[in-house]
Structure 1
């Protein structure tokens, strides 16, 4: 076999090998995008359910506040008002997350999808921080004038200890629930399930895809 033929065969082999590698890369990228889409889609049911339950809950509490406003004590009105206000804010964030999931088109550039996933991750952290702020009002809504005037010191001490503990817990969690603490046990205990894992797995997959593109340049 002449040298020209060998060179020609080698070039043909090299070209076919490069085409095969490009096809494998495209297939790997498509599989990664489909996995990301599957992860994001798995988040929709729980968010829709949470929004539906939240809307029903705030509707009932609003009706209760309106009907009892003339006769209810102010501890209940204020506590219920704070709780329902924070729940409404959480519902708005959940609706925003559904929009992000819907707009996260797997065919768009990786950077844009990463940006949407980063927003989804940060809002998941924020909605959790906001919901934990409700803790103290669950220890104050049942207070009333008779309880304060006719209670004994044991009751006062127990109630003060419980309420202060819940206030401390709410403030501590609000300040410390940050992505920087993601490797801590208490953080993983809170963020472990269908509202967190799919986001993190999707971000990791897109990071791997982006790194692969850089290596192949």
Structure 2
């Protein structure tokens, strides 16, 4: 009789322990979900500021191009036009990222949130790569077509070297800004911590949530 009672007490203790473990896991999962949402939300201000600043910059460039179009300075029109185009694409990507951040529902399956964060990661890499393409055009916008044939050849030689150097850096960055290089010093310097770090933290915490969800059925069984 005592053995049966001891077994019942032991089983009751096991059940309470399992319930407590499940409760703790669920609490940990819920807290981690809140942290993920907080990390994503922390990116909103800088992205909203970037979009507003980008729109003002694009308007300024477009007004400038339209007003100077009759003059027909080919160097300026091509340079400013390309810079404006690149920034329009960048603003579009930032708006897409803001939508992704707003529609993230942390209570939905982890896979859904992971897809949205993957979209944020990919678009963050692409917007930076695209913005790098404008670098050489910052070395040509001030040139004037009338200088051709009249300016010192030494000037054009120096100008060509500078433009080619910026073009080489631009192409190198476009090729090498990849997820695989995220731990390299130049990558960390380029991205800083406002946009990239929250995404990485959110990814890590989603892995933790998946681990919690995997363990819950094991504990309950």
| Same fold flag (TM > 0.5) | yes
Deviations 1:149-181 (A, max 9, x none): 221122111101100001101111001100011
Deviations 1:70-118 (A, max 9, x none): 0140110111110000000000000000010011111111011011001
CA RMSD for the aligned pairs? 1.2
Runs of 4+ in 1 over 4 A off after TM superposition: none
Counterpart-to-counterpart distance in 2, 1:6 and 1:47: 62
Counterpart-to-counterpart distance in 2, 1:33 and 1:212: 11
> What 5-or-longer segments of structure 1 have no aligned partner?
none
How many Å apart are 1:215 and its aligned residue? 4.4
How many Å apart are 1:64 and its aligned residue? 1.1
How many Å apart are 1:187 and its aligned residue? 1.1
Aligned: 1:150 with 2:150 = yes
Counterpart-to-counterpart distance in 1, 2:209 and 2:134: 40
Query: Residue in 2 aligned with 1:207?
Result: 207
> What 5-or-longer segments of structure 2 have no aligned partner?
none
CA contact (8 A) 2:75 2:145 kept: no
Query: Residue in 2 aligned with 1:73?
Result: 73
Alignment of 1:112-131 (within 5 A): 112-131=112-131
Alignment of 1:152-191 (within 5 A): 152-191=152-191
Q: TM-score, structure 1 length as denominator?
A: 0.97
Between the two proteins, the alignment pairs up a number of residues equal to 217
Q: TM-score, structure 2 length as denominator?
A: 0.95
Query: Residue in 1 aligned with 2:105?
Result: 105
Deviations 1:39-95 (A, max 9, x none): 011000000000000001101111111111101401101111100000000000000
Counterpart-to-counterpart distance in 2, 1:42 and 1:35: 10
